[in-house]
Amino acid sequence: MTSGPFTGYHQREVPPDDVELTRVGPGTPCGEYMRRFWHPVGFVRDLGDVPLRVRMLGEDLVAFRDHGGQVGLLHLHCAHRGTSLEYGVVSERGIRCCYHGWRFDVDGRCLDTPGEPAGSRLCERIWQGAYPTLTFGGLVFAYMGPPDRRPALPVYDTFGMDGYRLLPAARFELPCNWLQVKDNSMDPVHTSFLHALSSGYQFTEVFGQLAELDWLETPFGMIYIATRRVGDYVWVRVCDFLPPNVHQFTRELEEASTERIGYRPVITRWAVPNDDTRTTNFELTAIPDDWPVDETAIAKPGFGQSSDRPYAERQRHPADYDAQASQRPIAVHALEHLASTDRGVIMLRRIVRDGIRAVGRGDDPFGVTRGDGPPIRTLAQDTVLKIPAPADPAADRRLLRDTGRRVVAGP
Ligand code: FES
Ligand SMILES: [Fe+2]
């Protein structure tokens, strides 16, 4: 009996989470899916004179940049007797384990075993586990999948727009599963409640207007379109989801008080699973050329994105970190009551599930790119048009929806 008054006693059971979509360790269906894509490991700025210990997809790893400028990502525990390479010495070439001095190149090759007798050929048989990396936009990416399935790094059109500079931005960790972090990206209704009506205005006031919502699949993933009436103006905000774990959104600065078309001060954000219950977000950002740039400010997480506020304040003015992390360490889909505003969440999960099953069949999942095609056309933007409201509210809602669709269809 789970409906009716005082049913707490009957509603205590917590069923398992949706393991097909949430578990990312080696050998799991979603873990294998994730391993078909490049993921950020850290920013180039994080690779200094000491190695960087990282946990990705349930694996403990160490990243470093040797003095020759090569970036390596190796299994954490040394192939000799397991000492952590986070205590290793970054060398001219490769990294040297602190314990007995074995040195490994960025591809895992053993370069020397200095304690062994002269002429020893032991080294030739030793390989430290290693993953390929590449750097782009100040981020270091890694590919942790089968070597023969290595894709290209997808290049989105937002990485090279006229009138904008691409810069590394923030990194922040959430103590929860990756999927609920990403669910949020296709959940535009929360921008009116969490960020305005229910916990105080966190962005501009126009976010407090309820939007006409729409979701569409695209050739590269999916988008949401949130279209709001602001006096005589119609404000169309579009965000992209790019499988498996990337989304793009505009900075929350729109006032919708003047017309503009296709404004794209975009943040591109990857949600990288450290493991099943921890997720690190990494961001690149396109900054309009006429904005002053404070790189320290850009490197900080936005308001309420991380645990950087006191609990008492987070309770009074909760934001994204609080809403997402408190859905349980792994949100339990079987206990949800999905509503009409969750259509984007349902679509996103279907894209992920289809991708996981494609990998299970031996196919490339949706979102994998190969070769050097043109940049992928994405749609995240703010567009504001002057279109006074018709008298009939239902006609205005139709007008908002049609305007949203027209904006993403382009000229
Ligand atoms: S444990 Fe690394 S060199 Fe011995
Ligand atoms: Fe949010």
Q: Which of 62, 102, 110 maximizes ligand 1 atoms within 8 Å of its Cβ, making it the mutation to test the pocket? A: 102
User: What pLDDT is stored for residue 372 in this prediction?
Assistant: 82
pLDDT at 61: 98
Q: Is the CB of 75 under 6 A from ligand 1?
A: no
pLDDT values of the chain reduced to their tens digit, one per residue, 411 residues:
789 999 999 999 999 999 999 999 999 999 999 999 999 999 999 999 999 999 999 999 999 999 999 999 999 999 999 999 999 999 999 999 999 999 999 999 999 999 999 999 999 999 999 999 999 999 999 999 999 999 999 999 999 999 999 999 999 999 999 999 999 999 999 999 999 998 889 999 999 999 999 999 999 999 999 999 999 999 999 999 999 999 999 999 999 999 999 999 999 999 999 999 999 999 999 999 999 988 899 999 999 999 999 999 999 999 999 999 999 999 999 999 999 999 999 999 999 999 999 999 999 999 999 988 899 999 999 999 999 999 999 999 999 999 999 999 987
Position 2 scores a pLDDT of 80
Q: CATH 2.102.10.10 region(s) of the chain?
A: 38-149
Distance 186 CA to ligand 2 centre (A): 10
Task: Note residues around ion ligand 2 (Cβ under 5 angstroms).
Answer: 320
Question: Measured in angstroms, how far is the CA atom of residue 358 from the centroid of ligand 2?
Answer: 30
Q: What is the pLDDT of residue 335?
A: 97
- Find the ligand nearest to 89 CA: 1
Candidate of 97, 120, 122, 126 to mutate for ligand 1, largest count of ligand atoms within 8 Å of Cβ = 97
Q: Is the domain covering 38-149 a CATH 2.102.10.10 domain?
A: yes
Cα(225) to centroid(ligand 2), Å: 15
Asked if residue 104 has its Cβ within 6 Å of ligand 1, the reply is no
Asked if residue 99 has its Cβ within 6 Å of ligand 1, the reply is yes
| Whole-prediction pTM | 0.97
User: Where along the chain do the CATH 3.90.380.10 domains lie?
Assistant: 157-409
Dihedral of CA atoms 379, 261, 320, 15 in degrees, nearest 10, equals -40
Instruction: Quote the ligand 1 centre to 96 CA distance (angstroms).
Output: 9
Residue 150, ligand 1, Cβ within 6 A: no
| pLDDT score of 181 | 98
Residue nearest to atom 1 of ligand 1 (CA): 81
97 touches ligand 1 (CB under 6 Å): yes
Q: Does domain 157-409 have CATH number 3.90.380.10?
A: yes
Closest ligand 1 atom to Cα of 115: 3
- Testing ligand 1's pocket by substitution, the residue of 74, 77, 81, 112 carrying the most ligand atoms inside 8 A of its CB is 81
Cβ atoms of residues 198 and 355 within 8 Å? no
* Ligand 1 atom, smallest distance to 85 CA: 2
Please state the three-class secondary structure of the chain as a single string: CCCCCCCHHHHCCCCCCCHHHHCCCCCCHHHHHHCCCEEEEEEHHHCCCCCEEEEECCEEEEEEECCCCCEEEEECECCCCCCEHHHCEECCCCEECCCCCCEECCCCEEEECCCCCCCCCHHHHCECCEECEEEECCEEEEECCCHHHCCECCCEHHHHCCCEEEEEEEEEEECCCHHHHHHHHHCCHHHHHHHHHCCCCCCCHHHHCCCEEEEEEECCEEEEEEEEEECCEEEEEEEEEECCCEEEEECCCCCCCCCEEEECCEEEEEEEEEECCEEEEEEEEEEECCCCCCHHHHCCCCCCCCCCCCHHHHHHCCCHHHHHHCCCCCCCHHHCCCCHHHHHHHHHHHHHHHHHHHHHCCCCCCCCECCCCCCECCCCEEEEEECCCCCCHHHHHHHHHHHHHHHHHCC
Indicate which ligand has the atom closest to the C-alpha of 189: 2
Ligand 1 atom closest to the Cα of residue 97 is 2
Tell me which ligand sits closest to the C-alpha of residue 85: 1
